[in-house]
A and B are shown apart, each in its own frame.
Chain A
Amino acid sequence: MVDTSTEPKQANELWRRLTATSWIRELYRDGNPAHGLNATVLRALFTYLDDNESVGTTLGICVQSTTALPLLAAARRDESALDPLSVIADAVLAGKQMVGLAATDDTPGSNLTTLATTVTIDDERVILSGRKKWIANAVFASHLLVLARQRAGSAFTNFTWVVVPTDAPGVTVEAVPAPLFAGSGTGHATFRDVTLPLAYLGGPVGRGLIDFASHICVERLASAMWGHAMCARVLRETVDYLRQRGQGPANLWGKEEIRRRIAKCLISTTLLDILLDRCQHDILDRHDSLSASLVKATAADTVEEVLSVTSHLQGARAFIDGGLQTLRAQAGLWSIGGGTYEVMLSTIAAHADHLLGEAS
């Protein structure tokens, strides 16, 4: 377990501490981020993080552990010191460096096929130009994984990852003032004709969106597991609070109307738990986008419902510094980060025939 004697304030500090324990080694199958993640450890990790760390710090760990590092590790050409991607992945896995995932442009993040960041590739080098926004860990990162287009047009084969050192000429990183996500190191980055050797291509040319689609599924699963842990924790705390408000059978937990409101939250939270159990292996083993969309959309709905009810039931107490009303505002993350709620619904609707066939 991680020493919690001092509260980490930044995701990079927490990452360093997590990598010093067995958490991160055991999170990855064979200890290798390219081999996929272990469902039991993933769930235990995000339950632990929800219990002990801030939303912003946990966000930074979520993106790095479930998407950025696995993507980087899978892009390694070999495991020698001659491959810069291998060296960077090893340093991140050892807790010595952070890597940010830079997918969203100035263009709408809900449709990555419109992104404008470009990469020009010749026989010796790549040249990257553009701007990326809302990058978790950007201000901590030694490198950014940047999704760029190598061809014009919206075809899904037009995109490629580039691994960019944040101290390379032409790279500017600016912190984003986002107090709700303090500790996440969120920032924007600008790339002006950043020139790098070909070895910094983050995987085969044309597989950028394909690899993103497969890895972001795992982040969506992790965020749903985190959301479930949060709902269960908040419901426990709220029931305890309601039991202490008033005396004997007159306490708030004795009121049937309140019990029924909590019961509805318990139903939603239990359904999310069941869905996670049903979907987690399809996501981790097959990177199934439908399953990932189902759990993420359900988590967004459940988090919103539980925090709306519990923050109301806690009354004025929910408005204290760090209270449930703050958490409720932070929890808007579940409808936006890692793919918007609307994108999840579109994916689910696109699989209507499959889902309805399966149900009949």
Chain B
Amino acid sequence: MLDQGFAELLSTFVPRARQPITDDLRLRDAGLDSLHSIDLLLAIEEKYDIEFPAHLLTDATFETAGSLWSSVAKILASAAAGTRAVDRHHG
């Protein structure tokens, strides 16, 4: 299930895609070429204050809206776990 803020951000990059955007939206079919993909990735990194790790910089990550959100969610979860670990360490 896509996060609403993520879906709204994604919709600005694929404005002609069927709304609401669903997990199975194939990004390339929706007009997301390499140039747009880079812009989208930079916008996601700015919005969520994250950086995509090398192992997630693959075609599979950018295949569908769902696969992309799944990668973002993993990065956010990993960052949150890291923060909790730091909090415990300093607590």
A→B interface (CB under 8 Å)? 113, 154-157, 204-207, 209-210, 213-214, 286-287, 289-290, 346-347, 350, 353-354, 357
Contacts and interface: CB of A to CB of B under 8 A. Distances in A.
A347 B35 contact: yes
Chain A residues touching B, majority SS: helix
Contacts of B12: 354
A154 B34 CA distance: 8
Interface string B48-67: 00011110011101100000
B58 A157 contact: yes
A156 B39 CA distance: 11
A210 B53 CA distance: 12
Interface residues of B, number: 23
Given A204-B54, A206-B54, A207-B57, A350 B36 contact: yes
Which are the 5 A-B pairs with shortest beta-carbon distances?
A: A206-B57, A157-B57, A156-B34, A353-B15, A205-B54
Interface of B: 12, 15-16, 33-39, 41-43, 46, 51-54, 57-59, 61-62
B42 A213 contact: yes
Contacts, number: 54
Given A155-B34, A350-B36, A210 B54 contact: no
Nearest to A343: B35
Contacts of B42: 210, 213-214, 286-287
Contacts of B53: 204
A286 B62 CA distance: 21
Contacts of A286: 42-43, 46
A354 B36 CA distance: 12
Contacts of A210: 38, 41-42, 57
A176 to B, nearest CB: 28
A113 B34 contact: yes
B36 to A, nearest CB: 7
B14 to A, nearest CB: 10
